[in-house]
Structure formats: structure tokens, C-alpha cells
Amino acid sequence: GAVVSQHPSRVICKSGTSVKIECRSLDFQATTMFWYRQFPKQSLMLMATSNEGSKATYEQGVEKDKFLINHASLTLSTLTVTSAHPEDSSFYICSAHRGWSEAFFGQGTRLTVV
């Protein structure tokens, strides 16, 4: 089956630094990927839609300058959390769709900003 790989699985960074998270579709091409954020004991909130070769589409309330998304190839999208602060600590998950039905999710990245 399709696999989406996300890296790193855990990252701890200092406040003010930037962190890059990668999301790869391993056996299919994904023109669109999605980035979600999940706070402890809460559900997934869609942050943005990553579009291959064009700008990402951000959900309302998500700062595009803070969460930079790059989708340079059909198998890779990156999310960079810039100037991270403790309130950005969260679980970030990407997904990619094969066709328009089932979504495949990465393993998630636990970001802790200290």
C-alpha cells in the first residue's frame, strides 16, 4: 500500500530557531499534500494545503510567514516552523492522497520548543 514518510519524528529546538519537517510520498506521486497540527488530547486541525509547483493555501488563522510550506516535487513537501516559540510545540502530521479518496498519513512529528 501507499506509504507517506515524515521526518523527523521528534525534534526539540530552542525558542527563536527554525525547524523543517519533511513529508514524502514513497510509492506514489502527490500533487497535493496537507499539513495538520494536533495539540495534546485534541483532534487534528488542518493548517494548509501544499500544492506542487505553486503556493500553499493556508487555513484561516494560520500564519503563512510562520509556517512556510514548500512543495518542490511530486513526492516531497516541507513545513518550516520559523522563529519557533513554546506555543508552537505540537504534533504536526502530513497527509497525501492517492486519487481523491483515501488519505495516507505520515507518522507525525513531535515538536517541542524550549
Partner 1 sequence: SQQGEEDPQALSIQEGENATMNCSYKTSINNLQWYRQNSGRGLVHLILIRSNEREKHSGRLRVTLDTSKKSSSLLITASRAADTASYFCATDAGSSNTGKLIFGQGTTLQVKP
Q: Write the interaction track for partner 1 spanning residues 31-70; mark x where CB under 8 A is met and - where it is not.
A: -x-x-x----xxxxxx--x----------x----------
Q: Which long-range contacts (CB under 8 A, 24 or more apart) does 62-70 make?
A: 67/35, 69/35
- Asked if 12 interacts with partner 1 (CB under 8 A), we say no
- 55: Cβ contacts below 8 Å, ≥ 6 apart: none
Comparison of 8 and 16: residue with beta carbon closer to partner 1: 8
> How far apart are alpha carbons 30 and 56 in whole angstroms?
14
Please state the separation of Cα 52 from the chain's center in Å: 14
Is residue 108 close enough to count as binding partner 1 by CB under 8 A? yes
Smallest separation, CB 27 to partner 1 (Å): 15
Nearer to partner 1, 7 or 83 (CB): 7
